[in-house]
Amino acid sequence: MPKDKATAPSSDFIRNIVAEDLKADKNKGRIVTRFPPEPNGYLHIGHAKSICLNFGIASENEGGVCHLRFDDTDPSKEEVEYVESIKSDVRWLGFDWDDHIYYASDYFEKLYEYAEQLIKNGKAYICSLSAQEIREYRGTLTEPGKDSPYRNRSEEENLNLFRRMRAGEFGEGSHVLRAKIDMTSPNLNMRDPTIYRVRRVPHHRTGDKWCIYPMYDFAHCLSDSIEGITHSLCTLEFEDHRPLYDWILDQLNVDCHPQQIEFARLNLSHTMMSKRRLLELVEEGYVSGWDDPRIPTLAGLRRRGYTPESIRNFCERIGVAKRDSTVDIALLEHTLREDLNKRSPRVMGVLRPLRVVIDNYPENQVEELDAINNPEDPGMGTRKIPFSRVLYIERDDFREDPPKKFFRLAPGREVRLRYAYFVRCVCVVRDEKTGEVTELHCTYDPQTRGGDSPDGRKVKATLHWVSAAHSLEAEVRLYDHLFLKPNPGDESDGNDFKASLNSNSLETLTSCRVEPSLRGSTPGSIYQFERQGYFCVDSVDSSAEALVFNRTVTLRDTWARIEKTQKKNKGATIGDKN
Ligand code: ATP
Ligand code: MG
């Protein structure tokens, strides 16, 4: 449960159902939800929506419980590494399952018994068609399917074959167990779906014990039932599976029949959330790993500098609805800025340094100037920053030929150095060969210490800077959207999501200079580099000797602009909240 939950989330259609059920004393007033990841990849921000919903509902209702259940029924794609990462990501987001951690694989024996029960009830049979034939027999949306020739095997024969499947007598694909429902059902999921198959793959928890594994639709509803789940919340693509969920539980006459409720999955623009595709990016080296700061995994977002609070706030803000939509990634960044603005100390860091010599400043003098750590939070105090004769400013903050409305430094012009003095550019030094500006000479006005002029003189720009001798060198990684298009992999990409990968999504700057207060910053610390954005110390590659920062997000808020236009075009919504 979030420790710092300020307000209860506003209601939504699922919370309304839960409230109604409580009022009607359904399930004897119990509320039990679950978050059921398959350990075949790292969690992404879409999962965060589901986590916030499931753990949220449990925590908002007295006695409510949310289970963390690993849906580990497909050993070919699942790994312990994923189990561990999922646990740490859920904790990092701020939720706690207490003792309620479960594994579908712990139910394999029970699930097997349920399957035998179905056979005994005449509701399941062993089908010996090939996978290809099964597909052909299934029919299409417009044509009914055909009964399998094996559909009327006797109970005895079915049991015998099923037991031999379990005993390992058959190879993969030779036989499957199918539910006996209706090959003419308009719902394809009800056309005798496969519920067990042979898989000769060891499982990361059960080892070689099993060579048959239950299918998702069979395992999921029964796992929910075994655990006494009251509300089984899943994404919309399972809506068509609900009749099967209910059918299986009805046939087996179980004590607990949870209610499946579907909600819209989170889609985010300029990125992509399928675990299969993320795995592809990781395995093929498009990104550095599951925690690459450009991908929307929780591990990536954490390394990028996202806080759990910002992600929870985002999930609350987008709400929960039944209609699919794509949320602009700018909203996620906006929510992040709101959070970082409050919590991050301000510092000065120069990304692309340009040397500045203050000609009239005494050669060996160093002044310690007062700087405010966070104007939003006086409690965060002040610090000292050294000022000396040689400084670095941002290369972008100087133009030899300033265009109209460029108010920063230019030959002859005076600007303010933050917390320091007014300086005026008196001379530009150029590389003889390339003509590139290599150094500026300025003069300072000693009367303007602290940044104000006693004679009321005004300047139009305030620049950040660092003292050359005192500053620390740092590497800074600038990130941009992973994809160039809001909707990667749509028809215009020929459905190839990699076609619109942004080849400039990472820019690495190696000779940046940051103020000395950053010496020894701990990995993960987040700062606002004044005028630049929010940056966090990289948790993997940064060290005391070689600082590495990730740009978490810039200061420029595109969401504010989007929202303004949305308000103008009345009727538009934030996220999928209705
Ligand atoms: P993916 O499609 O990314 O591989 P998945 O649905 O296969 O995801 P699971 O591990 O099965 O991944 O998901 C665990 C839970 O998280 C499920 O209840 C699923 O509905 C939910 N979930 C997954 N993706 C999203 C999303 N984008 N938005 C909301 N909930 C999601
Ligand atoms: Mg899944």
pLDDT digit string (tens) for 505-549? 999 999 999 999 999 999 999 999 999 999 999 999 999 889 999
pLDDT, residue 6, reads: 45
Among 12, 44, 79, 235, the mutation site with the greatest number of ligand 1 atoms within 8 A of its Cβ is 235
| Nearest-ligand number for the alpha carbon of 260 | 1
The residue whose CA is least distant from atom 22 of ligand 1 is 47
How many angstroms separate the alpha carbon of residue 92 from the centre of ligand 2?
A: 22
- Ligand 1 within 6 A of CB of 49: yes
The domain segmentation of the chain, as residue ranges, is 13-103+217-266+301-319, 109-215, 267-300+320-346+471-578, 349-463
CATH domain 349-463 topology = Ribosomal Protein L25; Chain P (2.40.240)
- Ligand 1 within 6 A of CB of 266: yes
- Ligand 1 within 6 A of CB of 254: no
| Nearest-ligand number for the alpha carbon of 274 | 1
Closest ligand 1 atom number to CA of residue 276: 4
pLDDT, residue 4, reads: 43
Instruction: Write the CA distances from 168 to 175, 205, 243, integer angstroms.
Output: 11, 18, 32
Whether 516 and 386 have beta carbons less than 8 Å apart is answered as yes
Q: Residue 16 burial by CB count (10 A; 0-12/13-18/19+): exposed, middle or buried? A: exposed
Write down the CATH superfamily of domain 267-300+320-346+471-578: Ribosomal Protein L25; Chain P (2.40.240.10)
- Ligand 1 within 6 A of CB of 47: yes
Closest ligand 1 atom number to CA of residue 267: 27
pLDDT, residue 201, reads: 95
How many angstroms separate the alpha carbon of residue 104 from the centre of ligand 2?
A: 13
Angle of helix 308-318 versus helix 45-60 axis, rounded to 10? 80
The residues annotated as belonging to the active site are 38, 265, 275
Helix (H, G, I), strand (E, B) or coil at 459: coil
How many angstroms separate the alpha carbon of residue 554 from the centre of ligand 2?
A: 34
CATH domain 109-215 topology = Glutamyl-tRNA Synthetase; domain 3 (3.90.800)
- Ligand 1 within 6 A of CB of 334: no
How many angstroms separate the alpha carbon of residue 550 from the centre of ligand 2?
A: 31
Strand partners, 442: 358, 425
pLDDT, residue 348, reads: 98
Based on its alpha-carbon atoms, the radius of gyration of the chain, rounded to whole angstroms, reads 30
How many angstroms separate the alpha carbon of residue 234 from the centre of ligand 1?
A: 8
CA 223 to chain centre: 27
The CATH code of domain 13-103+217-266+301-319 reads 3.40.50.620
pLDDT, residue 145, reads: 98
Whether 263 and 235 have beta carbons less than 8 Å apart is answered as yes
Query: Fold identical between 109-215 and 349-463?
Result: no
CB under 8 Å to 280, separation ≥6 — which residues? 286, 498
If the chain, 578 residues long, is cut into consecutive pieces of 10 residues, what is the mean pLDDT of each piece? 52 96 96 98 98 98 97 94 98 98 98 98 98 97 97 98 98 97 98 97 96 98 98 98 98 97 97 95 97 98 98 97 94 97 97 98 97 96 98 97 94 98 98 96 96 93 98 98 91 86 97 97 97 97 95 87 73 41
pLDDT, residue 557, reads: 73
Q: Find tokens 């139910």 and name the residue.
A: 107
pLDDT, residue 9, reads: 67
Helix (H, G, I), strand (E, B) or coil at 316: helix
Closest ligand 1 atom number to CA of residue 278: 3
- Ligand 1 within 6 A of CB of 279: no
Q: Find tokens 């990361």 and name the residue.
A: 204
CA 32 to chain centre: 25
